[in-house]
């Protein structure tokens, strides 16, 4: 019996039981499609999540100078020190003092709000994507030391706009002139809900901390290198006093998320493989039962038992191979449609190519018991029975 004859006989046998064969194949298709769709959706979703994290964390490096001479140098001198690091695209002093509780009043409208202070320079505001939407930001070179910029939300609550002539407010009872209104980049709230003060004004109001924080932006590929040289550049005499906090490595983040997705998919794949195997075993067991007389006749006519076993094994392999291949294609389409609907980049791991071979192997394993049963049938007993 040649391999071609075995396959032909197996296909004819499956065709005679087409209803049950189609039902088994459809069950395998569903399991395989579920697995492939899960792999594709998990891969695409994890990649999308990684991109969102990368976007949220941005490319900002936070360097904090923890020493007595932190404010010894002006902003221009500090930025001049950073010039050799050409990878830095923008930098500036910015401290979000969320712990500060300032009572801010508008003498003109008799409104009061309680908010916190952001201390820094225009360069620092630019480094986090903020901007002045009216007027200008105060600096250390202003003639009047008591000046501030209002966050967009704070200005609205106080009823102050830059269209008013020389607007003023009081901060903890001290009269301060308003030079402008500042806002964050989209979806931000640190500037819009605060009072922006220059380091000089913050010092006069007793709000300037001893430590100084510098925000530096660099391309993602250069973050690690920039973070390594910042301490010596910002405080050459005492680099140990500089604490640097850089965003996580995007590649590491992506790999971690994808690893979690793969672990989940592996567990589900094992469950689906077991379900598929049981379906094939059940179908082939019923086939052996239904074809007992046929098997007995073949054995009585001289067909070796091992050839009868191979035929049943081949039928199980065909069921697993067809079902897994069809499921792989359908699952890939489902994953692609889902990714397109969610505006994700469609990704499908190369491991899905193993689904069809896995279906064949599962079919072979599931067909062992039915094939063994077929070979153990006693033809004499069957021929004597009715």
pLDDT tens digits for range 241-298: 999 998 766 666 667 767 776 777 777 777 777 777 777 777 767 766 666 677 666 6
**Confidence at residue 386, expressed as pLDDT on a 0 to 100 scale:** 46
Per-residue pLDDT of 167-212, as tens digits, reads 999 999 999 999 999 999 876 678 999 999 999 999 999 999 999 9
3-state SS, residue 236: coil
Whether residues 369 and 264 fall in one domain: yes
Q: What is the pTM of this model?
A: 0.59
- Answer for the pair 22, 326: CB distance below 8 angstroms, yes or no: no
Whether residues 48 and 119 fall in one domain: no
Whether residues 275 and 157 fall in one domain: no
Return all residues near 356 (Cβ < 8 A) that are at least 6 apart. 321, 324, 325, 328
Of 230, 246, 262, which residue is a domain's last?
246
CB-neighbour burial class of residue 342 (10 A; exposed 0-12, middle 13-18, buried 19+): exposed
Whether residues 240 and 155 fall in one domain: yes
Whether residues 94 and 214 fall in one domain: yes
**Confidence at residue 57, expressed as pLDDT on a 0 to 100 scale:** 55
Q: Could you say which DSSP state residue 222 is in?
A: G
Estimate to the nearest angstrom the gap between the alpha carbon of 200 and the chain centroid.
Answer: 42
Whether residues 73 and 207 fall in one domain: yes
Q: Domain span at residue 376?
A: 3-53+251-384
**Confidence at residue 382, expressed as pLDDT on a 0 to 100 scale:** 56
Distance (Å, whole) CA 39 – CA 31: 12
**Confidence at residue 286, expressed as pLDDT on a 0 to 100 scale:** 73
CA distances 280 to 203, 261, 289, Å, are 79, 28, 14
Whether residues 87 and 232 fall in one domain: yes
**Confidence at residue 251, expressed as pLDDT on a 0 to 100 scale:** 63
Whether residues 242 and 255 fall in one domain: no
> How long is the chain?
386
The token pair at 376 is 């153990």
**Helices (runs of H) and strands (runs of E) counted in the chain:** 13, 10
Whether residues 184 and 89 fall in one domain: yes
DSSP assignment of 40-62 equals HHHHHHHHHHHHHHHHHHTTEEE
User: For the chain, how many structural domains are there in total?
Assistant: 2
Whether residues 342 and 279 fall in one domain: yes
CA distances 20 to 25, 287, 309, Å, are 9, 9, 20
Of 246, 273, 295, which residue is a domain's last?
246
Whether residues 107 and 256 fall in one domain: no
Of 246, 273, 307, which residue is a domain's last?
246
**Confidence at residue 329, expressed as pLDDT on a 0 to 100 scale:** 92
Return all residues near 94 (Cβ < 8 A) that are at least 6 apart. 118, 119, 120, 121, 124, 125, 127, 128, 213, 214, 215
Give per-10-residue mean pLDDT for the chain (386 aa). 69 75 82 84 78 65 92 91 91 89 91 94 93 94 92 94 89 94 82 94 93 90 87 92 81 69 73 74 71 69 74 80 88 90 83 82 77 69 55
Whether residues 231 and 340 fall in one domain: no
């Amino acid at each position: 019996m040649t391999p071609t004859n075995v396959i032909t006989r197996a296909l004819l046998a499956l065709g005679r039981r087409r209803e049950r064969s189609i039902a088994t194949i459809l069950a395998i298709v569903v399991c395989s499609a579920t697995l492939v769709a899960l792999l594709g959706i998990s891969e695409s979703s994890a990649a999308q999540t990684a991109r969102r994290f990368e976007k949220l964390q941005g490319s900002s490096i936070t360097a904090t100078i923890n020493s007595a001479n932190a404010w010894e140098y002006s902003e221009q001198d500090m930025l001049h020190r950073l010039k050799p690091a050409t990878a830095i695209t923008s930098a500036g002093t910015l401290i979000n003092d969320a712990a500060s509780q300032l009572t801010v009043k508008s003498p003109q409208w008799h409104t009061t709000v309680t908010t916190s202070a952001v201390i820094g320079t225009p360069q620092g505001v630019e480094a986090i994507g903020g901007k002045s939407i009216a007027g200008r930001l105060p600096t250390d070179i202003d003639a009047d030391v008591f000046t501030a910029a209002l966050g967009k939300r704070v200005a609205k609550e106080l009823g102050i706009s830059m269209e008013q002539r020389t607007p003023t407010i009081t901060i903890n009872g001290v009269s301060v002139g308003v030079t402008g209104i500042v806002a964050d980049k989209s979806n931000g709230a640190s500037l819009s809900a605060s009072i922006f003060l220059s380091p000089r004004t913050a010092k006069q109001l007793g709000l300037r901390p001893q430590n100084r924080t510098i925000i530096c932006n660099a391309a993602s590929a250069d973050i690690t290198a920039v973070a390594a040289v910042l301490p010596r550049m910002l405080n050459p005499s005492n680099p140990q006093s500089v604490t640097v906090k850089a965003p996580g490595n995007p590649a590491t983040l992506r790999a971690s998320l994808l690893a979690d997705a793969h672990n989940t998919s592996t567990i589900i794949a094992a469950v689906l493989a077991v379900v598929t195997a049981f379906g094939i075993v059940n179908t082939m067991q019923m086939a052996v039962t239904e074809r007992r007389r046929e098997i007995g006749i073949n054995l009585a006519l001289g067909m070796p038992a091992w050839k009868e076993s191979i035929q049943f094994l081949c039928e199980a392999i065909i069921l697993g191979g067809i079902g897994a291949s069809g499921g792989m294609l359908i699952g890939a389409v489902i994953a692609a449609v889902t990714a397109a609907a969610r505006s994700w980049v469609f990704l499908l791991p190369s491991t899905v190519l193993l689904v069809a071979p896995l279906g064949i192997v599962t079919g072979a394993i599931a067909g062992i018991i039915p094939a063994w049963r077929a070979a153990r049938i006693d033809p004499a007993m069957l021929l004597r029975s009715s």
